[in-house]
Amino acid sequence: MAERIEVAVEGRVADGIAFLPEGAGPSPLVVFFMDAGGLRPALTHMGERLAATGYVVVQPNLYWRSGPLAPFDFATVWTDPRERQRIFALMNGFTLAQAKVGIDKLGVLSYDLGMTPKNPNPFDEDSEPLASRIATGLHKIGLAMKQQAWQQANDEGLSATQGQILAALVAHGPLTGSELSVRLGVTLPTISDSARVLADKKLVTKSPDPRHPRASLLRPTKRGAALGARARSWPEFMAASLVDLTAEEQRAFFSGVVKMIHALQQQGLIPLGGMCVTCTHFRPNVREGASPHHCAFVDAPLASEQLRVECAEHELAAEGTRAALWARFIRPG
| Residue (19 or 282) nearer to ligand SF4, CB | 282
CA distance 282 to 298: 10
Q: Which is nearer to ligand SF4, 206 or 308 (CB)?
A: 308
Cα gap 41→120, rounded to integer Å: 14
Residue 198 exposed, middle or buried by CB count within 10 Å (0-12, 13-18, 19+): buried
Tell me how far, at minimum, the Cβ of 332 lies from ligand SF4, in Å: 16
191 or 295: whose CB is closer to ligand SF4? 295
Q: Which is nearer to ligand SF4, 171 or 311 (CB)?
A: 311
Least spacing, CB of residue 200 vs ligand SF4, in Å: 35
How far apart are the C-alpha atoms of 128 and 70, rounded to whole Å?
Answer: 19
Of 314, 283, 313, give the one whose Cα is nearest residue 301.
283
Distance CA 2, CA 51 (A): 9
Tell me how far, at minimum, the Cβ of 246 lies from ligand SF4, in Å: 26
Nearer to ligand SF4, 53 or 266 (CB): 266
CB of 212 to ligand SF4, least distance (A): 25
Tell me the closest approach of the beta carbon of residue 66 to ligand SF4, in angstroms: 60
Report d(CA 163, CA 204) in Å as an integer.
12
Neighbours of 166 (CB within 10 A): 30
Using CB under 6 A, list all residues that contact ligand SF4: 276, 279, 281-282, 295, 297, 308, 311, 313-314
Phi, psi (degrees; rounded to nearest 5) at 15: -115, 175
CB 254 within 8 A of CB 276: no
> How many Å apart are CA 249 and CA 242, to the nearest integer?
9
Is 193 or 310 the residue whose CB approaches ligand SF4 more closely? 310
Q: At what angle do helices 160-172 and 130-155 cross, to 10 degrees?
A: 90
Residue 272 or 276: the one with the smaller Cβ distance to ligand SF4 is 276
- The rounded distance, in Å, linking the Cα atoms of 329 and 313 is 20
CB of 314 to ligand SF4, least distance (A): 4
Please state the closest distance from residue 262 (CB atom) to ligand SF4, in A. 13
